[in-house]
A and B are shown apart, each in its own frame.
Chain A
Amino acid sequence: MLNFMENVTQIPIADWVSTFTDILTDTFAFLFDPIKNDFGAFMEWLAELLASIPPVIVILLVVILAFFASGKRFGLAAFSLIGLLLIWNQGLWEELMFTFTLVLVASLLSIIIGVPFGILMSKSKTAEAIITPILDFMQTMPAFVYLIPAVAFFSIGMVPGIFASLIFATPPTVRFTNLGIRQVSSELVEASEAFGSTGSQKLFKVELPMAKKTIMAGINQTVMLALSMVVIASMIGAPGLGREVLSSLQRAQVGTGFVAGLGIVILAIIIDRFTQSLNSQKGDA
């Protein structure tokens, strides 16, 4: 009696999902293929373009930007200088550029997709009720799982990496945009309406500027998640620092693995401080 499950047929969820994915792959091949080819080519081109710039120039640019972005303080600039020189010295410069390209493109796409959904959620209770559990699902499902359909849709390389990273990294932007807009004081929204603003005037002149700080915090989270996903995506052939970590793991080379990992940490810190200082500066202005 206690093991009544024996008599219950197993629900074939796994089969359903596989079938569903197959159908998607077949049906949307006309969409996935050009994305895979053209977008993949674009990413290649961008990464190689970045890698072709002499590292000295890139480092110099980053250091100058860091100096001004952090409000003319030397901390971030000095860290960027030392960190990037170290990565260059370890012969990981090209990998760094690939990883950076992946993070950049994945983050931009996440923001482009995430902000409008966040706005939609903030405007409609129904949309919020539908989207919130989907976001929960996207964030709690182990990130590795996304690699499987990513490969089915886009085979291996950079594009499936971006796809997996999109699913994993977009939620914070959506959530924070929603939160930011909902937090705008109701008196300000009323003021905007009382003067006869249209919906879009209210959104662009009051709500989005007021929510900017919160949205930027969400974007910062998204960028960090994109970075972590880009490393995982090396398992499906995404190039960059992550691939170095993966191959060191496969060959049990502790030293090389550590160095590549350190490169990721340096990149993460630079990106994080950059987006944060941009935020606080704009907020104070």
Chain B
Amino acid sequence: MPVIEVQGLSKVFGKNNKQALKLLDQGKPKDEILKETGNTVGVNRASFEVEAGEIFVIMGLSGSGKSTLVRLINRLIEPTEGSVYIDGEDLAKMDKKNLRRVRREKLSMVFQKFALFPHRTILENAEYGLEIQGVDKEERSKRAKESLEMVGLGGYINQLPAQLSGGMQQRVGLARALANDPEVLLMDEAFSALDPLIRKEMQDELLDLQETMKKTILFITHDLDEALRIGDRIALMKDGSIVQIGTPEEILVNPANDYVEKFVEDVDRSKVLTAQHIMKRPETINIEKHGPRVALERMREEGLSSIYVTDRKRNIKGYVTADDASDARKREITDLTEILRTDVPQVGPETSMHDIFEIIHDSPVPVAVVEEGKLMGIIVRGAVISALAGETEVISEDA
């Protein structure tokens, strides 16, 4: 069973939102509803599920409704319509007392601008969630310290938040959220206010922590690189609606529509795309059947300066170049093995493009993509460049 299950969740800001809801159900867009009713649509019938231990990223530009959506999930903002099930309990229909219980026991939130209480020490901040539950002083101090320890702030417990750097403050925010030992962590642009180096460090740390914690994390961000880096799955939002949900790869490789495509245009693909996305079907010759003459013929047909050589089972043997083949033909050599070169530049199908750069840079021939000794495909320089430029058509799906 999913830990978080959101069904048809909508938020319409403004009075008399019945009319706006009706228009929403008719599929009218946000700006039209604003014009007709004066109501602003924050979130438009969002539905998704988050499994236990998953990092689910909601990403979108500012104004896309992602911050509203996360606040609907712990009901800091009252939903207009729809349900939010946490462990099967519908938060949207809960009374205040039960809502408090769920917030205390199951949901914790980390905020963009940290939202630390400036008048409380680091320890007192981390204790806050336990304090309001009435956990006695000794116990809550122990648990808060453990949680501060976990984020690497064990030595700062008596400082005030203002004395800490941004990165450290957000660690406190994280420690405060973890001190309750919640099932679900809601992280609202948690790293967006940090400078890029610290942000990356925090992302790594979150991933490290997640290895041991296995929390269910709902992470909000406007930064696609961040989403791709930490998300197990990503939901892309636009104008209050979720446009696509998928793994980072699915979103990059199969954008659901123009909007997503435009969005992923600028992404640093070298970190996300791997060899299998950009390789193409190789031209090969069979070492058991063919000689230099066939090799030369095939290369001429395809306009290549080299060709890969395999056996019948597609096990890679090496490659021959056009020069060697033509030389061999002149000298009337018929055995391919004499001119076979075996210094094959090769990568695995999961090798990232980032690592392919170096190999392809020095290589006189296309890079071979090899899995368990078998030639899966080849990568030519042009494909790398095209993929970086975001031309998805060169990314072969059948390979």
Contacts and interface: CB of A to CB of B under 8 A. Distances in A.
B119 A198 contact: no
Q: Is the interface of A mostly helix, strand, loop or mixed?
A: helix
A203 B107 CA distance: 21
Given A198-B100, A198-B132, A205-B132, A193 B76 contact: yes
B132 A194 contact: no
B133 interface: yes
A195 B126 CA distance: 11
Interface stretch (B109-117, B146-154, B352-360, B384-392): B109-117
Contact of A191 (B99, B115, B119): B115
Interface stretch (A162-170, A182-190, A224-232, A269-277): A182-190
B175 to A, nearest CB: 13
A206 interface: yes
Interface in A191-212: 191-198, 201, 205-206, 209-210
B118 interface: yes
Contacts, number: 60
A247 B112 CA distance: 64
B108 interface: yes
B119 A195 contact: no
Contacts of A194: 74, 76, 103, 107-109, 186
A136 B373 CA distance: 87
Given A190-B76, A191-B109, A205-B132, A196 B104 contact: yes
Q: Which of B107, B112, B119, B176 is the most central at the interface, judged by chain A CB atoms within 10 Å of its CB?
A: B119
B111 A196 contact: no
Contacts of A190: 71, 76, 109, 111, 115
Q: Which 3 A-B pairs have the closest CB atoms?
A: A196-B104, A196-B103, A191-B115
Nearest to A206: B117
A195 B111 contact: no
A210 B118 contact: yes
Contacts of A210: 117-119
B325 to A, nearest CB: 70
Interface string B359-378: 00000000000000000000
B117 A195 contact: no
Contacts of B76: 190, 193-194
B101 A196 contact: yes
A7 B119 CA distance: 65
B107 A188 contact: no
Contact of A195 (B71, B99, B129): B129
A195 B115 contact: no
Contact of A185 (B107, B115, B129): B115
A201 B119 CA distance: 15
B180 interface: yes
Contacts of A193: 76, 103
Contacts of A209: 117, 119
Interface string B86-109: 000000000000011111100111
B137 to A, nearest CB: 15
Nearest to A285: B119
A210 B104 CA distance: 22
Contacts of A197: 100, 132
A191 B111 contact: yes
A195 B103 contact: yes
B128 interface: yes
Given A190-B76, A210-B119, A195 B180 contact: yes
Contacts of B107: 194
Interface string A236-251: 0000000000000000
A187 B111 contact: yes
Interface string B14-37: 000000000000000000000000
A239 B100 CA distance: 55
30 contacts: A185-B113, A185-B115, A187-B115, A190-B76, A190-B109, A190-B115, A191-B115, A191-B117, A192-B128, A193-B103, A194-B76, A194-B107, A194-B108, A194-B109, A194-B186, A195-B103, A195-B104, A195-B109, A195-B132, A195-B176, A196-B100, A196-B102, A196-B103, A196-B104, A197-B100, A201-B132, A205-B131, A205-B132, A209-B117, A210-B119
Given A194-B76, A195-B129, A196-B103, A188 B108 contact: no
